[in-house]
Amino acid sequence: MTAQELPHLSDMIRAQTVLKSYIKATPLEHSKTFSAMSGANVYMKLENLQSTGSFKVRGALNRVSSLTEDEMLRGVVCASAGNHAQGVAYAASKFGVKSKVFMPVFTPPLKVIATRAYGAEVILTGETFDDAFSAAMEDIEKNGGTFVHPFNDPLIIAGQGTIGLEVFSQLEDIHAIVVPIGGGGLIAGIAIAIRQLNPDIRIIGVEADGSQSMSLSLEKKAITTMKHLHTIADGIAVKTPGTLTFEAVKKYVDEVVVVNDAEIARTSYLLLQRAKMLAEPSGAASLAAVIYKKSKYLEGNVVPIISGGNINMGLLQQVMEKGMMDEQLRARIAVLIPDLAGELKSIISILEKLRANIHDISHDRSMTSVPVGYVLATITFNLQDTSQLETIKQKLDEKGLQYKVLR
């Protein structure tokens, strides 16, 4: 295997031998809830439970383990805004290798802290991944070191392909495996492994609506760069697919489908609420494709890869808030009331009597739409069931209040 050719099944079997001392063989968990929602028989491959919280550590370990003695002495370098950084730092620490990670300045602090905790030297530079990548290349030219690419490397692809070997050993009669696509390393590895083990198993790729570089490249039959990316699934937001991964997808993947941010967020919420599983948006994209029935191949035993669980806490709060609102387990109303003592208390008493638990209250007197002598009170409250809001609205109507339910 050279740097310019795709790995083979034998490379993934070899990688599995290397990795077994360092990673978990993650569970394959059947879900009655998601099976009922999708009409398929859903088994989730839980890479969100992997060491470092994502599949990325597999490829990183396989790549670092292959370094020569001289390369290990000079250390490794990577550019990443998240999971790849942690994977490389973890892998380097296991082999006693220095690691230097270039991350954009906007990288969430928790990801920076986690990467440093694995022993990496973290350098925050530039506003985008491309800026961090350029800085990493300049550093290698100046100081040496081996660059660990996040996806376009046969050893990285072989490491990710060990997930395919695990799934194949964990479940008989697989109809389809559903895999998120960013740069394409994960789906390339899984597709190569599965095609050689059982060519009848369908491989479905999933991209975010605001990051369709692989779909665009397939459509144009040449690697194509997207000018702009916009998605909450930052782990699969990649402007340009790899040369190797593009070839693998063309050759081995049956279909690439798209999910939007609302579908991804809803799926992340459902994973936490129904399955008690924390998944980042990119990790939930594959299950979103299954739940929202994006492919004709999603029947029988279907395996979505839940690729990671390292979600930004601010985003998690938004996902939970919106999920509860969508399920009518939380509601928000804006009520116009006289700016007098006791007026707000009368509304709160209605909510208390109906056992609606108040989450927060805000006031606004300065909006031009609020008459002088009045206050706009916005009240967010949790509900016992989906019918409770109608009862609350009825009581507010009886009191003659001006209000609006906010969505």
What pLDDT band is residue 1 in, cutting at 50, 70 and 90? low
What angle (nearest 5°) sits at the alpha carbon of residue 160, between those of residues 159 and 166? Answer: 95
Rounded Cα gap, residues 82 and 310, in angstroms? 8
The SS3 of residue 10 is helix
Of 31-35, 91-95, 152-156, 399-403, least confident by mean pLDDT is 399-403
E-assigned strand segments in 250-373: 255-259, 301-306, 330-338, 357-364
Based on the residue annotation, tell me whether 56 is a catalytic residue of this protein.
yes
The residue from 217, 282, 295, 307 that is catalytic is 307
Residue 267 has pLDDT above 80, yes or no: yes
Residue 206 has pLDDT above 80, yes or no: yes
Fold category of 9-54+153-321 in CATH: Rossmann fold (3.40.50)
Q: Can you tell me the mean pLDDT for 388-396?
A: 92
Kindly report, as residue ranges, where domains of CATH 3.40.50.1100 are found in the chain: 9-54+153-321, 56-147
Q: Can you tell me the mean pLDDT for 319-325?
A: 93
Query: Which residues on neighbouring strands pair with residue 404, listed in sequence order?
Result: 334
The residue from 56, 94, 100, 294 that is catalytic is 56
Based on the residue annotation, tell me whether 307 is a catalytic residue of this protein.
yes
Residue 90 has pLDDT above 90, yes or no: yes
Q: Which residues contact 273 (CB under 8 A, 6 or more apart)?
A: 323, 327
Average pLDDT, the chain: 94
The domain 329-406 is placed in CATH, from the list 3.10.450.50, 3.40.140.10, 3.30.70.260, 3.30.470.10, at: 3.30.70.260
Residue 130 has pLDDT above 80, yes or no: no
- At 180 the pLDDT is 98
What pLDDT band is residue 407 in, cutting at 50, 70 and 90? confident
Kindly report, as residue ranges, where domains of CATH 3.30.70.260 are found in the chain: 329-406
Class of domain 56-147: alpha beta
